[in-house]
Amino acid sequence: MTDIPSPELPKAYDPSQVEEKWYKFWMEQGYFKPAIDRNKKPFVIIMPPPNVTGELHLGHALTATLEDIMIRWHRMKGDPALWLPGVDHAGIAAQVVVERMLAKEKKTKYDLGREAFTRRMWEWANSCRDTIRKQHMKLGASCDWDREVFTLDEGPSLAVRTTFKNLYDKGLIYRGERIINWCPRCHTAISDLEVDHKDLAGHLWHIKYPLADDPTRFVTVATTRPETMLGDVAVAVHPDDERYRDLVGRTLLLPLVDREIPIVADSVVDMTFGTGAVKTTPAHDPTDFDIAQRHNLPLLNIFNDDATLNKNAGRFAGMDRYAARKVIAEELARMGLLALVQDYSHSVGHCQRCATVTEPLASRQWFVKMEGLAKPAIEAVTSGRIKILPERFIKQYLNWMENIRDWCISRQLWWGHRIPVWYCRSCGEVVVSVDFPEACTGCRSTDIEQDPDVLDTWFSSGLWPHSTLGWPQQTADLEYFYPTAVMETGYDILTFWVSRMITMGLENTGKIPFDTVYLHGLIRDEKGEKMSKVKGNVLNPLALIDKFGTDALRFGITTGNSPGNDIKLSENRLEAGRNFANKLHNAGRFVIAALTKAEGVPPVYPRDLPAEDRWILSRLSRTISQVAAYMEDFQFGEAERTVHDFIWGEFCDWYIELAKIRLQAGTLPSPLPVLLKVLDESLRLLHPFMPFVTEELWQHLRKYLTNPPASIMVAPYPKADEAAVDAAAEAFVEGLIEAVRAIRNVRAEHKVEAGRWIAAEIHAGEQKAPLDCYKAAIETLARVRPFEIIADRFVGESDTARIVLVLKDLEVVLPLSGMIDQEAESRRQATELAETESQVARLSAMLGNPDFLAKAPPQVVAKEKAKLEALEDKLKRLKS
């Protein structure tokens, strides 16, 4: 393999000059394609397939980033890591998009016909797939693109037909009349997931229904939709409601249509709602449907597919539902049957795709019996075989699965998996087949017609983890890579998608589809509001990449975030990501330049190293340990924050600055070996999170490493070196940093010019001898001169104005003259003294409390005692 030429690093980091180059390199080297190794357990993620409805949004960017972090980490750990990409045909969502495009051409799908419309859909889908693939590549997604799958590909299509046939043969799929969500614009049933519920201001109409045998007496019902009264088949009351007990079994005369309907008693009725009597319209309400089933009541559908009223509505037939509502309310009022109209806010379902108000509608559809299928899926989670992260979502999952209803899987669309059912026109036989049947299985007639409906998109995506790997064929991929490791997706589709993947995976393969469900939160704007085009707060990920770079975007949407928590995203977070990339670039540029000037890089000898070398190596080891723990616990945001804090706050801000002083002075031993080691391992630690800047810098660093691989993405992920942990070096250097930082803070508080030198003393006690070696470093870093390190503890002199900073092990003394407001400094010292006294009093009281000492773990008590001792020592020195 020929290495990519690495010219000298530019002064500023420019993502546009780096990202495409390295992604192309990774693709050419085949790093994204895992080899099957029977001696190793693979790590597998099947990508949640984006819909072919346009470009990727920030939610997709978050999904891709989190999954890429996991895949890159496991790849660097040496695991065969497969990230299998895919795209969803998106059923109704994609069809709506294309229908809107046709509307701009003043056409409908009916103008084209089903065959031509389907061709148009394929053109759109293929265009979207190409766009989505390129956008994922721009995000740095290290997917195995050779294995990319589309839900309408032949493999997944075979899996869909096979599953339908198997479930049908088991009696688990049936055709029947049930309440579904109907979209009058899309003319199809839609799933619960595709219904957005919005609170709307409306009215509650109280309508008087006269008794059939005594028109002078009435039962008053309350409804938010008076037009549906035309489909009433009963009025229901609670059996314990004394107001209506004597009326149960009698009949009412339905106003406007003069149809007699019974009064039935059902315990589902809420006696506190309205009048306690509810109109029962089983064809247009799920609760009413259940009442009708229990009381053997008929279904009376009053709506056409477009939500106009049909012939069952009598003289109101042909009217729009809202126009009918107005007319019916007016007529009831004229007849004296409208008892009361109240303002009333209630939740109304809207089609997620076109925003049309949906109608609950009794419709003849295909359903899956879910109760029996749900039980193994419940057990898989309750037994711990499948982990759901965060665990708080387990309750939501179980609540959904334990109260599951039969699943309506048919859709009245032209785009999707056609239901594999054929009807014989000759004998009426229903033929369910995986393959297209040549003739009726009953009478052998060839006059058969396929069901016109398609399957719910969630039916095919419910098979996703195993259908993408070749099921129902027994492929090598299915044998090796299934079950998968992690299903990472948003918490908002836990019940609608994740639950179905678990259910169908267990049904089809007998195995769980994945070990872990990782649920991320939603990306919101900086105020915590949901992003929408209407609000104008939508951020386009590609535009953000162009402005800040891919690494900065990945950093901004993941750093510090925990599973299941929503993310407030602002450009400030992205600027922080860009600044970090620049900081890292500058640090790498310094180290690489220093290595280039050196004749050779000597090995690291920990016993011979100065304190700051031992400190940074110790901190590196601890950081690696902490990052490993976070990664294993799926706390990727915290892992990334930990790496960021180490690189920026310890390596760049302190170690490199100390190393510069040694390099300029030619002090031995040289810091170069440590600079090389820490930069190398820091880049590898950070690579899963920010792949491009780390690859760019690491490629320049490779020539100084021993037998490095060709890319950082296949370099081993760092492991902690416990032998490098040096608590004494950490304590010493942290004390040195505390002193420099304290002086810098005073300078900043009192607006001392950056280039101005100020006098200082450090009273170091036993720390004097080791600190003497760092006198020049403290002078340079804190801009102090003259500067002395004194062995004695400081004793204040009342006739000399000065600032005294009491630190953990040191006192820093800075003359006040010409630098600060002396009165303000006195107030500061008084405040610090009072705060320290308060902390000492609080801790003393807590440690003097027998209940605390009895209940608190020993390590907590020891920690608090040590804290008290340190504060008492500080208080003593403050008072002096």
Least confident of 79-83, 463-467, 485-489, 703-707: 703-707
Q: What is the dihedral of CA 639, 644, 647, 653, to 10 degrees?
A: -140
- The structure's pTM equals 0.84
Q: Can you name the residues that pair with 253 across neighbouring β-strands? A: 260
476 pLDDT above the threshold of 70:
yes
85 pLDDT above the threshold of 80:
yes
283 pLDDT above the threshold of 50:
yes
CATH code 1.10.730.10 region(s) in the chain: 555-725
Instruction: Give the right CATH number for 555-725 from 1.10.730.10, 3.50.50.60, 1.10.10.10, 3.90.10.10.
Output: 1.10.730.10
821-880 fold: Helix Hairpins (1.10.287)
Contact 175, 164 (CB under 8 A): no
CATH code 1.10.287 region(s) in the chain: 821-880
In whole angstroms, give the CA distance from residue 75 to residue 69: 10
Contact 603, 673 (CB under 8 A): yes
Q: What single letter denotes the amino acid at residue 253? A: L
Query: Is 533 labeled as ligand-binding?
Result: yes
Residue written as token pair 């901190």 = 619
Q: What is the DSSP string of 415-465?
A: SS-B-SEEEETTT--EEE-SS--SS-TTT--S-EEE-S-EE-HHHHHTTHH
pLDDT tens figures, 402-434: 999 899 999 999 999 999 999 999 999 999 999
Query: To which H or E segment does residue 350 belong?
Result: strand 338-351
Q: How far is CA 280 from CA 289, 310, 471, 507, 839, in A?
A: 8, 19, 46, 38, 68
Contact 469, 442 (CB under 8 A): no
Tell me phi and psi for residue 419, to 5 degrees. Answer: -60, 125
pLDDT tens figures, 857-867: 777 788 888 88
Nearest C-alpha neighbor of 467 from the set 133, 40, 88: 88
799 pLDDT above the threshold of 50:
no
The Cβ-side half-sphere exposure at 49, using a 13 Å CA radius, reads: 29
CATH code 3.90.740.10 region(s) in the chain: 188-360
Contact 449, 127 (CB under 8 A): no
> pLDDT > 70: what percent of the chain?
96
In whole angstroms, give the CA distance from residue 563 to residue 548: 25
pLDDT for the residue numbered 824: 66
> Which strands make up the sheet holding 173-183, listed edge to edge?
188-190, 173-183, 359-368, 407-408
pLDDT for the residue numbered 873: 80
Judged by DSSP in three states, 483 sits in coil
Report residue 492 as tokens: 């908002």
570 pLDDT above the threshold of 70:
yes
- Higher pLDDT, residue 229 or 189: 229
> pLDDT > 90: what percent of the chain?
65
Q: How far is CA 5 from CA 35, 530, 584, 587, 596, in A?
A: 28, 45, 21, 21, 16
Least confident of 266-275, 307-316, 532-541, 825-834: 532-541
Q: From the CB of residue 351, how many other CB atoms can be counted at a distance below 10 Å?
A: 22
pLDDT tens figures, 294-340: 999 999 999 998 989 999 989 999 999 999 999 999 999 999 999 99
In whole angstroms, give the CA distance from residue 183 to residue 750: 67
In whole angstroms, give the CA distance from residue 749 to residue 216: 86
The Cβ-side half-sphere exposure at 822, using a 13 Å CA radius, reads: 9
pLDDT for the residue numbered 362: 84
pLDDT tens figures, 701-759: 999 999 999 999 999 999 999 999 999 999 999 989 988 998 898 888 877 888 888 88
pLDDT for the residue numbered 831: 84
DSSP state of 793: P
> What burial letters (b/e) apply to 823-851, b meaning 16+ CB within 10 Å?
eebeebbeebeeebeebbeebeeeeeeee
Q: Can you name the residues that pair with 486 across neighbouring β-strands? A: 45, 516
**What residue ranges in 231-315 does DSSP mark as E strands?**
234-237, 251-254, 259-265, 277-280
Write the burial class of residue 727 (CB in 10 Å: 0-12 exposed, 13-18 middle, 19+ buried): exposed
Supply the mean pLDDT for the chain.
90
Instruction: Give the right CATH number for 188-360 from 3.90.740.10, 3.20.10.10, 3.40.1190.20, 3.20.20.80.
Output: 3.90.740.10
pLDDT band for 849, please (50, 70, 90 cuts): confident
Contact 306, 169 (CB under 8 A): no
Q: How far is CA 340 from CA 278, 329, 789, in A?
A: 15, 11, 89
Contact 152, 463 (CB under 8 A): no
390 prior amide bond cis, ω within 30: yes
180 pLDDT above the threshold of 60:
yes
Tell me phi and psi for residue 340, to 5 degrees. Answer: -165, 145
Q: What single letter denotes the amino acid at residue 343? A: D
Contact 15, 549 (CB under 8 A): yes
878 pLDDT above the threshold of 80:
no
pLDDT tens figures, 113-163: 999 999 999 999 999 999 999 999 999 999 999 999 999 999 999 999 999
Contact 650, 616 (CB under 8 A): yes
- Higher pLDDT, residue 48 or 8: 48
Rg (CA), the chain: 36
pLDDT band for 4, please (50, 70, 90 cuts): very low
Q: From the CB of residue 800, how many other CB atoms can be counted at a distance below 10 Å?
A: 10
